[in-house]
Amino acid sequence: MFRLLSKKLRRWQILSSKDQTQTKPDRSPVYLSKNLEGNLQILREVLGQSSDVIIREMKISSDSNVDAAVIYIDGMVDRNLLNRDILQPLMFNLQLIKDHIRQNHSSLIDFIKSSVLTVGQITGTEDIDRVISDVLKGHTAILVEGVNQTLLIDAKGWETRGIEQTTNEVSIRGPKDSFTETLRTNTTLLRRKIRDPRLTFQSLQIGERSKTDVAVVYIKGITPDSLIEEINQRLKRIDADAVLDSSYIEQFIEDNPISLFPTIGYTERPDVTAAKILEGRAAILVDGSPMALTMPFLFIEGFQNPEDYYAHPFFASLIRWVRLLGFILSIYLPGVFVSLKAFHPELFPTPLLVSVAGAREGLPFPVVLEALLMLMLFEVLREAGLRMPRSLGQAVSIVGALVIGQAAVSAGLVGAPMVIVIAATAIASFLVVPFADIGALLRLLMTIVAGFLGLFGMIIVQLEILSYLAGLRSLGVPYLSPVAPLNIRGLKDTFLRAPLWAMDSRPASLNSPDMRRQSPDQMPQVPKTESNQGGNQ
């Protein structure tokens, strides 16, 4: 049923996007004229009378009276760069510009670009829409009387947040830097991790109003071309007013829009993003968002942590099993307790059954309602702890849980065993952060099913979830890879984390053109010494 609804919704989205594309009128470009005042009038009409739009008119040659204008957004440009490398060269090199005007007036704009300005990145254009778009992005535009071309100078400089430690993905042994809200800073962080000339940043703008800069990151020759084409098609299909965060794009391009499980990963760590790109995946960076999207995203990635690859493989494998066990407990523990108490009390050991029955004596609610009440109370405390200031959030969540739990038991509303079950569930739910949200929904679903159908109903729902996961795709890659379909070589980094020297190939499910990640047979060997050689003789 879920698959049928998903397919119908997906088909409706594709048809509606095609209709919008076909009915959207094509706008012919508007070009600059040689009349400076006319060009400025058009720009004033489009940009409005906003106080932060600065139009600085000047003369760049006193004898020839050549008028010019500099346009920029106050607060989005580096003022020192503007004054030192743009305005000052234009206004103090009058004799140099005047001599050039006498010789060749037609190439004045090119002369200013090549011999007057002392900034790095300068581009020329005749398209007014391009001028407006770049000025709104923080560029500085120079218009000259008698020239139907403008110079766009990259002089951006606004207040930004510096590179800080990660807040959501805590690092113990690995790198501690995190992405920021500035796109160019994030691309630099990735470039420092991967100094491969084939590392590609493919830029585009999304959002009719916001004009948000988006970069698709991949390595040519490692990431499949079909994957990049599919991502570009999905991005170009987005027709929205604004994209304010990477989560906007995630909801537009995911394979199954009604899927409970995430099919696109996200991270704030440059090292995680770099590692996934090196495996053959692609990443999406959004200007204004400190989160990078990675795709394809598989189910097993939710249990992987960057610390796994910095720690010893035996310990990393143990911790990965702990996460898997915690995820299972966080989903099934309340439902199993409810089903055993309501339908299968004979499965309890006799001493435990007597203890649980004694604790529930005199309680007014049935066990399923008691479990749902405690689960909802836990979600309320968790949300309050997340949304409140950090200094108060931890105190509210911890003290609130202790006080309310103890008060509920003392008042005879819930039993002490239920409080223990919900507390264990709450702790286990934080082990797998990528699946924390879906875990809350599945936990409530399993508890409700257990209250009506017992263990039999939970098994039926679990089989339906497994069949749903087996048919789920992430950018065309099976969601349960490499377990289903089974790939023996891919199991090196699933339930166990093999040593780095053993993982010499990239995941087969990604279909990378270059499957070799490193040279094989790099297992460390015991060095041969004279004593060992003599003993062998």
Model confidence over 221-233: pLDDT tens digits? 999 999 999 999 9
Instruction: Indicate the angle between helix axes 390-410 and 416-429, nearest 10 degrees.
Output: 160
What is the predicted pLDDT for the residue at 248? Answer: 92
Q: Is the pTM of this model over 0.95?
A: no
pLDDT one-digit tens code per residue, 50-73:
888 888 888 876 555 678 889 999
Q: Say whether pLDDT at 23 is over 50.
A: no
What is the predicted pLDDT for the residue at 173? Answer: 82
Collapse the DSSP code of 105 into the 3-class scheme (helix H, G, I; strand E, B; otherwise coil) and give the result: coil
* Residue indicated by tokens 């039926």: 460
pLDDT grade, residue 82 (50/70/90)?
confident
What is the predicted pLDDT for the residue at 147? Answer: 83
29-38, 220-229, 351-360: which is most confident:
220-229
CA–CA separation, 411 and 415 (whole Å)? 10
Per-residue 3-state assignment (H helix, E strand, C coil) for 435-475: HHHHHHHHHHHHHHHHHHHHHHHHHHHHHHHHHHHHCCEEC
What is the predicted pLDDT for the residue at 22? Answer: 45
pLDDT one-digit tens code per residue, 396-447:
666 666 667 777 777 777 888 888 888 889 889 888 888 888 889 999 999 9
Q: What contacts 24+ positions apart, CB below 8 Å, involve 431-434? A: 431/322, 431/323, 431/326, 431/327, 431/330, 432/302, 432/303, 432/323, 432/326, 432/327, 432/330, 433/168, 433/169, 434/262, 434/265, 434/301, 434/302
What is the predicted pLDDT for the residue at 63? Answer: 57
**Least confident segment among 77-91, 212-226, 262-276:** 77-91
Q: Say whether pLDDT at 481 is over 50.
A: yes
- What is the mean pLDDT of the segment spanning 313-325? 92
More confident residue, 198 or 88: 198
* Residue indicated by tokens 């270059």: 514
What is the predicted pLDDT for the residue at 21? Answer: 44
What is the predicted pLDDT for the residue at 267? Answer: 92
What is the predicted pLDDT for the residue at 331? Answer: 93
Q: Do 279 and 297 contact (CB within 8 A), yes or no?
A: no
* Residue indicated by tokens 């084939």: 198
What is the predicted pLDDT for the residue at 279? Answer: 92
What is the predicted pLDDT for the residue at 124? Answer: 87
Q: Do 103 and 114 contact (CB within 8 A), yes or no?
A: no
pLDDT grade, residue 20 (50/70/90)?
very low
What is the predicted pLDDT for the residue at 13? Answer: 54
CA–CA separation, 213 and 243 (whole Å)? 9
- CB proximity list for 117: less than 8 A, separation 6 or greater: 85, 86, 89, 90, 151, 153
- CB proximity list for 344: less than 8 A, separation 6 or greater: 454, 455
- What is the mean pLDDT of the segment spanning 36-46? 88
pLDDT grade, residue 258 (50/70/90)?
confident
Q: Residue 108, class by beta-carbon neighbours within 10 Å (0-12 exposed, 13-18 middle, 19+ buried)?
A: buried
Q: Do 243 and 212 contact (CB within 8 A), yes or no?
A: yes
Q: Say whether pLDDT at 12 is over 90.
A: no
Task: Kindly report the average pLDDT of the chain as a whole number.
Answer: 83
* Rg of the chain on CA atoms, in Å: 31
Q: Say whether pLDDT at 25 is over 50.
A: no
**How far from 7 is each of 111, 256, 258, 466, CA to CA, in Å?**
58, 8, 10, 19
What is the predicted pLDDT for the residue at 292? Answer: 94
What is the predicted pLDDT for the residue at 116? Answer: 80
Q: Which of 230, 309, 265, 244 is nearest to 517 (CA)?
A: 309
CA–CA separation, 217 and 188 (whole Å)? 12
* Residue indicated by tokens 């002490």: 416
What is the predicted pLDDT for the residue at 101? Answer: 60
Percent of the chain with pLDDT over 90: 31
Q: Do 119 and 82 contact (CB within 8 A), yes or no?
A: no
Q: Say whether pLDDT at 485 is over 80.
A: yes
What is the predicted pLDDT for the residue at 27? Answer: 57
CA–CA separation, 91 and 84 (whole Å)? 11
Q: Say whether pLDDT at 272 is over 90.
A: yes
- CB proximity list for 218: less than 8 A, separation 6 or greater: 199, 200, 202, 227, 228, 277, 281, 282, 283
Q: Say whether pLDDT at 24 is over 50.
A: no
pLDDT one-digit tens code per residue, 129-138:
888 888 888 8
Q: Do 70 and 107 contact (CB within 8 A), yes or no?
A: no
What is the predicted pLDDT for the residue at 162? Answer: 80
- CB proximity list for 375: less than 8 A, separation 6 or greater: 334, 422, 425, 443, 444, 447
- What is the mean pLDDT of the segment spanning 226-245? 92
